[in-house]
Structure 1
Amino acid sequence: MLNYRVDGRERRFTIGSHPEWSAAAARKEAESLKRRIDRGEDPLGRRQETRQTPTMADLCALYIERHLPKKRPSSQRDDRVFIRTLILPRFGPEKVTAMRHGDIEALHREISAHAPYRANRLVALFSKLFSLGINWGLTTENPAKGIERNPERMRTRYLDADELARLQAALDTYSSQQVANAIRLLLLTGARRSEVLAARWDQFNLESGVWTKPAASVKQAREHRVPLSVAAVALLQAMRAEASSAYLFPGKAEGRPLGDIKKAWASICRRAGLEDLRLHDLRHSYASYLASAGHSLPTIGALLGHSQAQTTQRYAHLLDDALRRATEHVSTVLSAGRGP
């Protein structure tokens, strides 16, 4: 131990214990510490300050407590998985202020080797963690800034008429009609998977054919009111007649909705002979059918609940067929020499 005074206060600094530290090594360390003390440093104060500095585990705990409840349930699940499986095992004990750009970049490279999009989502989470950490006074820097993300391209996978027929046939014979109905509702509404699986009966007015999605369940974080087709209403009415839960698709745990249906979806795709088709592609298919029928991009965006026009722009090329039919109609009229 080394006894010294700082600002009139006596301090006792523990160098180490025997036999890890020999007497000669301890004396040498004490001399080095004394020189630092003479320059105005306080070794014990610095050690205590370091011990009190929040760790990444502390930052993640604050994030889960203060910020996570503001996000959609599906986003909450994704963030919890990232934190539990990637961030805490690797960086949990690290001090927030000790994290470096290279630490996060190295993990991003590792994940990119097999899941490039997932790696980008992880960096986005890191960036949000440190941004909030700055606001909460835990750090002054965001080491996740400037990390080059992997290029991402928008998928253009849609169901054609033959694939749709095969999917519907596979749904008709699937063992769990609850899951089949969830997929049918995805097809008929273009809703997000999380919105359908968490849907409650009190969100639906089947008489007027309207689904009012609460702000907490939608991506744009504001209430989204959408009309339902005749087919969607008919499906829901048949389901309602046999309903015994507040949820359209109740899960195994009482009072909870149905969880993930990825395994069921994979089985249905195998039955239908569908390759490289995600559940989210049903939403794209819904939008593609609207575009091909000639409905405008603002209409498609309103039905899908897009908050930004550029999100709907990906379907612009699908309007070509409807526009071609329109211009052919004009051409036919003009060629015949008659007015409209």
Structure 2
Amino acid sequence: MPKVKLTKNSVDNLKPYEAECVYWDETLPGFGVRVKPSGMKSFVVQYRNRKTGRSRRKTLGKHGPHMSLHQARELAKGYLSDVVRGGDPVAAFKAARSSPSVRELADQYLSHHAIPKKRPKSVANDRSMLYRFILPNIGNHKVFEVGYDDIQTLHNSLKSTPYQANRVLSLISKMFELSIKWRWRLDNPAKGIEKFHEEKRYRWLSGEELAKLTKALNEHPNQIAANAIRLQLLTGARIGEVLSAKWIDFNLDRGVWIKPSHHTKQKRTEHLPLSGAAKQLLILHCEASGIKSEFVFPGRLSGKPIVDLKRFWRSVMTSAGIDNYRIHDNRHTHASQLVSSGMSLAIVGRLLGHTNPMTTQRYAHLADNPLREAAEIMARKMSAPE
């Protein structure tokens, strides 16, 4: 290959031949101009990897209005400087082009982590957040190029729904933590992003509201769904645990509900004592519906339980005249009744399946009621006439 002193005029006057030809610059070794038989000219840089000895060549760009000789030479100097420092620009470029995208990270997260290790409902929630928020925004980004600003912008865009925004941020953070373990990148770009403040819900029914709910359940035509709510109120269980319950999970002789680990939030088997009322409810429910399914509350599809009670619950809340009260709040109502009756927070926490005692602390102020009543006993004794 010929060596020439590359100048603007010399590059402009280079003539094509029948075969491709590269003219190397005399003043910057490794930098040259490739001329194809068609007359197209491109700037190239060539070097040898200092570790492997392998020769590499990279096209810098096409000669023309978008890349001048001066621009190409400066770019070539940068690449050749990297080589002197032990780098391999061509290898780095190929690695960047072939590196996985966030979309591929999401697929790997689902197949290698979420599906094997999380409950189906949690996996469904992850899929929803991925397809609604994460992938439309950063799905096509390379994993290695996602920065703090990208995730901060995504998180801020969801500020109108702070709870949802924080769940999305947690999912992104988990995905990038796993990407570090999988050696897809060296750091977690979601680390250090502050979550939005969340207003915690502490809603439960008063005695009057509970009576209204009981009346609405008794009058509703769908007594199978009504029994599911009654069982939730009597046990404080999560509605998902109630709807997925099977007859085999109950030992009515011993009065125990054995919740399988794959149905509980903590992923552990729980033995929940049943009250006499809960046992009687299950017996009457069985007699009324008959054991035609393995599920206590079978759905319309054969072999499947009831999926959700949203429409039923809206109807019951309208009939009862109760506002701002969710099915999940039945757990709070169950707990509040126990604590107000003098039950210790530790016992209530165990009945609800809380692994963190702080979760049960939301009901702490209700424990004052029985103590206050006890304190009034002495006051009444002292004020009683002789």
Report the TM-score, using the length of structure 2 for normalisation. 0.78
Residue 34 of structure 1 is aligned with which of 76, 79, 102? 76
| Counterparts of 2:173 and 2:191, CA distance in 1 | 7
Task: Give the equivalent residue in structure 2 for 1:289.
Answer: 337
Deviation of 1:285 (Å): 0.4
Counterpart check, 1:103 vs 2:150 = yes
Task: Give the equivalent residue in structure 1 for 2:370.
Answer: 322
Deviation of 1:101 (Å): 1.6
Task: Give the equivalent residue in structure 2 for 1:92.
Answer: 139
Task: Give the equivalent residue in structure 1 for 2:206.
Answer: 160
Residue 190 of structure 1 is aligned with which of 230, 236, 245? 236
Deviation of 1:35 (Å): 2.8
Structure 1 residues 110 and 34 mapped into 2: Cα distance closer, same or farther (>3 Å)?
A: closer
Which residue identity lines up with residue 285 of structure 2 in the other structure? Answer: M
Structure 1 residues 15 and 261 mapped into 2: Cα distance closer, same or farther (>3 Å)?
A: farther
Structure 1 residues 293 and 52 mapped into 2: Cα distance closer, same or farther (>3 Å)?
A: same
Deviation of 1:293 (Å): 1.0
Residue 291 of structure 2 is aligned with which of 236, 243, 256? 243
| Counterparts of 2:185 and 2:111, CA distance in 1 | 18
Residue 311 of structure 2 is aligned with which of 254, 259, 263? 263
Deviation of 1:295 (Å): 0.8
Aligned length: 333
- Structure 2 contact 317–323 (Cα < 8 Å) conserved: yes
Provide the secondary structure at the position in 2 that maps to 1:211: strand
Question: After alignment, is 73-82 or 314-323 more displaced?
Answer: 73-82
Residue 122 of structure 2 is aligned with which of 66, 75, 78? 75
Which residue identity lines up with residue 58 of structure 1 in the other structure? Answer: E
| Residues 144-183 of structure 1: pairs in structure 2 closer than 5 A | 144-183=190-229
Larger radius of gyration: 2
Deviation of 1:111 (Å): 1.3
Structure 1 residues 112 and 260 mapped into 2: Cα distance closer, same or farther (>3 Å)?
A: farther
Which residue identity lines up with residue 38 of structure 1 in the other structure? Answer: L
Provide the secondary structure at the position in 1 that maps to 2:271: strand
Deviation sequence 1:88-132 (CA, Å, 0-9, x none): 11111111221122222222222121x111111111112211222
Deviation of 1:251 (Å): 3.4
| Counterparts of 1:67 and 1:128, CA distance in 2 | 10
Deviation of 1:6 (Å): 3.0
Question: For structure 1, which runs of at least 5 residues remain unmatched after alignment?
Answer: none
Structure 1 residues 256 and 6 mapped into 2: Cα distance closer, same or farther (>3 Å)?
A: farther
Deviation of 1:296 (Å): 0.9
Task: Give the equivalent residue in structure 2 for 1:122.
Answer: 168
- Structure 2 contact 137–154 (Cα < 8 Å) conserved: no
| Counterparts of 2:364 and 2:375, CA distance in 1 | 17
Task: Give the equivalent residue in structure 2 for 1:49.
Answer: 95
Report the TM-score, using the length of structure 1 for normalisation. 0.88
Residue 248 of structure 2 is aligned with which of 202, 213, 217? 202
Which residue identity lines up with residue 270 of structure 2 in the other structure? Answer: H
RMSD over aligned CA atoms reads 2.6
Deviation of 1:274 (Å): 0.9
Deviation sequence 1:114-156 (CA, Å, 0-9, x none): x111111111112211222222222221121222222223322
Task: Give the equivalent residue in structure 1 for 2:347.
Answer: 299
Identity of counterpart residues, as a percentage? 43
The answer to which structure, 1 or 2, has the higher relative contact order (CA under 8 A, 6+ apart) is: 1
